[in-house]
Structure 1
Amino acid sequence: MQYSINAAAFVAIIILIRLRRRTEARSRGDEAFTVFSSIVLGVLIAGTGWGQAILQLVGVVTRATH
């Protein structure tokens, strides 16, 4: 039996684990890594159906607020 994991799901799990930590305990390096991994997650999901749905939702909200 072979298991596989989606790269976007793996990065999302890492981000969730890192964000559960207390904010007072974070260093600049920790914050930079969290930001970098969040950007990587955004790039990974941008081309998927979920990414396109999020893009359309943000567009609708942006047009509604102007």
Structure 2
Amino acid sequence: MQYTVSASVFLAIIIVIRLRRPTHSRSRVDEAFTVFTAVVFGVLIAATAWGQAILQLVGVAVEASH
């Protein structure tokens, strides 16, 4: 479990750094790498209790919007 949390924190830092850069200088490969990193982050965080809480909050928000 420690490796999952550590990898998640590392990926979150990478995502924040990459998204702070100006958007006009990004290539398709750069954007694809950012999306891939975000997806991997989502998969890693989903296995944690924090990820499950986020999933429940999103589910409540979706049900409230209907």
Displaced runs of 4 or more, over 2 A: none
Taking only aligned residues, the RMSD between alpha carbons, in angstroms, comes to 1.5
Greater relative CO (CA pairs within 8 A, separation 6+): 2
Give unmatched runs, 5+ long, in structure 2: none
Partner of 1:21: 21
Task: Work out which of the two has the higher radius of gyration on C-alpha atoms and give 1 or 2.
Answer: 1
Relative to the length of structure 1, the TM-score reads 0.91
Partner of 2:61: 61
1:32 maps to a residue whose letter is A
Give unmatched runs, 5+ long, in structure 1: none
Which one has the bigger helix percentage? 2
Percent identity of the aligned residues? Answer: 67
Q: How many residues in Structure 1 have an aligned counterpart in Structure 2?
A: 63
Partner of 1:50: 50
Please give the alpha-carbon distance, in whole angstroms, between the structure 2 residues aligned to 1:65 and 1:14. Answer: 32
Please give the alpha-carbon distance, in whole angstroms, between the structure 2 residues aligned to 1:17 and 1:58. Answer: 25
Relative to the length of structure 2, the TM-score reads 0.91
